[in-house]
């Protein structure tokens, strides 16, 4: 997973679109498939790291206490560790999903039909950049604002009446 966190997403999109997917299937499967695979692998690497850090942030004594009460390792993870970790990973997880949304604009480089590609198509037909890109910028802003507000609501819900340890 360090390969995906340590290389630019733009480069990953091109490698997956022009080398990996054709190498596996013998031909390109289209820009949408390549884009979904590239964004999925890149985001999965970051999400895995976020969850790893969240689980490790829970005090070791929590697991020891759960085990001393007779819970198995998996029961302790499910009922004690993960609920605490989930509250802690929500803000960085929200940031990752917002970054994923904004990074989807990079798929225009391989002609995937997404917002930026649509704006470039409109620009090519009208030669009016403001009219082509301002609505796209507004849509990205609107979507990130919605994600952020949902995240704040979830954070408040998880934090209501609870302490971390």
User: pLDDT for 22-57, tens place per residue?
Assistant: 999 999 899 999 999 999 999 999 999 999 999 999
Q: Which two tokens stand for residue 159?
A: 């934090």
| Full-model pTM | 0.85
Domain at 2-159: CATH code: 1.10.3720.10
How far lies 99's CA from each of 83, 145, 148, in Å? 24, 12, 12
Round to whole Å and give the CA distance between 37 and 13. Answer: 8
Mean pLDDT of the chain: 93
Q: pLDDT tens digit string along 114-157? A: 898 899 999 999 999 999 999 999 999 999 999 999 999 998 99
For residue 165, pLDDT over 60 is answered with: no
pLDDT at 163: 55
- Please, what is the end-to-end C-alpha distance for the chain in angstroms? 31
CB atoms within 10 A of CB 26: 8
**With 0-12 CB in 10 A as exposed, 13-18 as middle and 19+ as buried, what is 5?**
exposed
For residue 161, pLDDT over 60 is answered with: no
What DSSP letter does each residue of 124-165 carry, written as one string? HHH--HHHHHHHHHHHHHHHHHHHHHHHHHHHHHHHTT----
């Amino acid at each position: 997973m360090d390969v995906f966190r340590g290389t630019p997403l733009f480069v990953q999109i091109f490698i997956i679109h022009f080398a990996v997917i054709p190498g596996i299937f013998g031909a390109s499967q289209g820009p949408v498939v390549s884009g979904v695979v590239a964004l999925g692998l890149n985001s999965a690497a970051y999400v895995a790291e976020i969850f790893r850090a969240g689980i490790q942030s829970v005090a070791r004594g929590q697991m020891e206490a759960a085990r001393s009460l007779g819970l198995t390792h998996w029961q302790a993870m499910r009922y004690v560790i993960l609920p605490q970790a989930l509250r802690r990973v929500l803000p960085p997880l929200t940031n990752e999903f917002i970054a994923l949304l904004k990074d989807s604009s990079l798929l225009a480089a391989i002609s995937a039909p997404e917002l930026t590609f649509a704006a470039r198509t409109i620009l090519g037909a009208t030669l009016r950049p403001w009219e082509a890109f301002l609505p796209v910028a507004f849509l990205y802003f609107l979507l990130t604002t919605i994600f952020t507000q949902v995240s704040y609501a979830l954070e408040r819900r998880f934090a209501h009446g609870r302490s971390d340890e």
